[in-house]
Structure 1
Amino acid sequence: MGQGSQGSPREVVLALPFTGWWLARNSPARRVPSHGTDLMGERYAIDFVGVDEQGRTAGHRDWRTLLASEPPDRFFSFGRPILSPADGVVVAAHDGEPDHAARRSQLALVPYMLGQAGRLRQGVAAIAGNHVIVELARGGAFVALVHLRAGSLRVAAGDRVTTGQQLATCGNSGNSTQPHVHMQVMDSAELSVARGVPMAFRHFRERPAGSAQFLIRQTAVPGENAVVEPLPAAEVNR
Structure 2
Amino acid sequence: VDFPLRGEWIYLRSFGHHPHAYDFVKIGNNRKYYSNGNLLSYIFGRVPANIFYCWSAPVYSPVAGVVIKANDGWPDNKVVNLASTIILWVKATFLFRPAKDGPDLDIRPNAGNYIMIQSESGFIAFMAHMRSGSIKVKTGQQVAEGQAVGEVGNSGNTTMPHLHFNLFDQINDPYQAKVIPFVFRSFERRNGNNWESVQNNTPKIKGEAIRKQL
TM-score normalised to structure 2 length = 0.85
Aligned-residue sequence identity (percent) comes to: 26
Question: Given that residues 9 and 210 in structure 2 are in contact (C-alpha distance below 8 angstroms), is that contact kept between their aligned partners in structure 1?
Answer: yes
Which of 38, 48, 55 is matched with 1:71 structurally?
48
Residues 212 and 47 of structure 1: CA distance in aligned 2, closer, same or farther (over 3 Å): same
Deviating runs (4+, > 4 A) in structure 1?
A: none
Per-residue CA deviations over 1:23-75 (Å, capped at 9, x if unaligned) read: 0111xxxxxxx8535xxxx4511111122333231123264222133211010
Residues 193 and 72 of structure 1: CA distance in aligned 2, closer, same or farther (over 3 Å): farther
> SS in structure 2 opposite 1:17?
coil
> SS in structure 2 opposite 1:215?
strand
Question: Given that residues 101 and 177 in structure 1 are in contact (C-alpha distance below 8 angstroms), is that contact kept between their aligned partners in structure 2?
Answer: no
Which residues of 2 match residues 48-197 of structure 1 at below 5 A?
48-55=24-31, 56-61=33-38, 63-105=40-82, 107-116=83-92, 117-120=94-97, 122=99, 123-137=106-120, 139-189=121-171, 191-197=174-180
- 2:1 matches 1:24: no
Residues 112 and 203 of structure 1: CA distance in aligned 2, closer, same or farther (over 3 Å): closer
What is the aligned-residue RMSD (CA, Å)?
2.2
Question: Given that residues 74 and 108 in structure 2 are in contact (C-alpha distance below 8 angstroms), is that contact kept between their aligned partners in structure 1?
Answer: yes
> SS in structure 2 opposite 1:110?
helix
> SS in structure 1 opposite 2:194?
coil
Question: Given that residues 50 and 78 in structure 2 are in contact (C-alpha distance below 8 angstroms), is that contact kept between their aligned partners in structure 1?
Answer: no
1:119 shift after superposition: 3.8
- The CA distance in 2 between the partners of 1:203 and 1:121, in whole Å, is 34
- The CA distance in 1 between the partners of 2:98 and 2:45, in whole Å, is 26
Q: Please identify which structure carries the higher strand content.
A: 2
Question: Given that residues 65 and 118 in structure 2 are in contact (C-alpha distance below 8 angstroms), is that contact kept between their aligned partners in structure 1?
Answer: yes
Question: Given that residues 7 and 213 in structure 2 are in contact (C-alpha distance below 8 angstroms), is that contact kept between their aligned partners in structure 1?
Answer: no
Deviates most, 190-199 or 168-177: 190-199
Match of 2:190 in 1: 207
TM-score normalised to structure 1 length = 0.77
Question: Given that residues 43 and 195 in structure 1 are in contact (C-alpha distance below 8 angstroms), is that contact kept between their aligned partners in structure 2?
Answer: no
1:111 shift after superposition: 3.4
- The CA distance in 2 between the partners of 1:182 and 1:149, in whole Å, is 12
Paired residues, number = 204
1:142 shift after superposition: 0.5
1:175 shift after superposition: 1.4
Residues 120 and 70 of structure 1: CA distance in aligned 2, closer, same or farther (over 3 Å): farther
Question: Given that residues 77 and 179 in structure 1 are in contact (C-alpha distance below 8 angstroms), is that contact kept between their aligned partners in structure 2?
Answer: yes
1:104 shift after superposition: 4.9
